[in-house]
């Protein structure tokens, strides 16, 4: 999903929660939007290019042309990461962690909606899925 849509939906949630949490709602953006930095990590490692603008253009071009790529591991989008955040949230019980978790849930919900709507399956959902997929798991290689 486009970053701009994550910004829009996270901003809407921030406006809704602002009366309850005041400026703490800015923590929504940590995992509501910035979680997609793992796309940059994947680009930088696979392309050996650390220019964030080129990474952004690369993903925008893929999105625009609907280019399907080899399945990737995006570390912050893995179930194992969600579970870790959930455990930390339950353990700490702070407004900050609640807001960070809410941002994560919103972000992932939008990503899943986008994947179902556009029939995208370009990402592993867990490390276990990746490890059991084997080397010939690149089912979406087209362009």
Write out the residues near Zn ion by the rule CB under 5 A: 36, 111
Nearer to Zn ion (CB atom), residue 94 or residue 109: 109
Q: Which of 5, 18, 28 is nearest to 101 (CA)?
A: 28
CB of 104 to Zn ion, least distance (A): 10
CB 17 within 8 A of CB 33: no
Nearer to Zn ion (CB atom), residue 42 or residue 111: 111
CB of 84 to Zn ion, least distance (A): 17
Nearer to Zn ion (CB atom), residue 17 or residue 122: 122
C-beta atoms surrounding 97 within 10 Å? 17
Nearest residue to Zn ion, using CB? 111
Q: How far is CA 143 from CA 1, 110, 140, in A?
A: 19, 25, 9
CB of 14 to Zn ion, least distance (A): 18
């Amino acid at each position: 999903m486009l970053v701009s849509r994550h910004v829009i939906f996270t901003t809407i949630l921030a406006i809704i929660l602002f009366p309850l949490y005041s400026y703490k709602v800015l923590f929504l953006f940590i995992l509501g939007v910035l979680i997609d930095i793992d796309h940059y990590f994947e680009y930088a490692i696979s392309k050996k290019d650390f220019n964030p603008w080129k990474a952004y253009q690369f993903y925008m071009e893929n999105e625009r042309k609907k280019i399907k790529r080899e399945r990737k591991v995006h570390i912050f989008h893995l179930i194992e990461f969600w579970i870790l955040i959930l455990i930390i949230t339950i353990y700490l019980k702070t407004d900050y962690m609640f807001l960070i978790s809410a941002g994560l849930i919103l972000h992932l919900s939008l990503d899943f909606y986008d994947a179902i709507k556009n029939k995208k399956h370009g990402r592993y959902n867990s490390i276990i899925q990746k490890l059991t997929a084997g080397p010939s798991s690149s089912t979406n290689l087209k362009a």
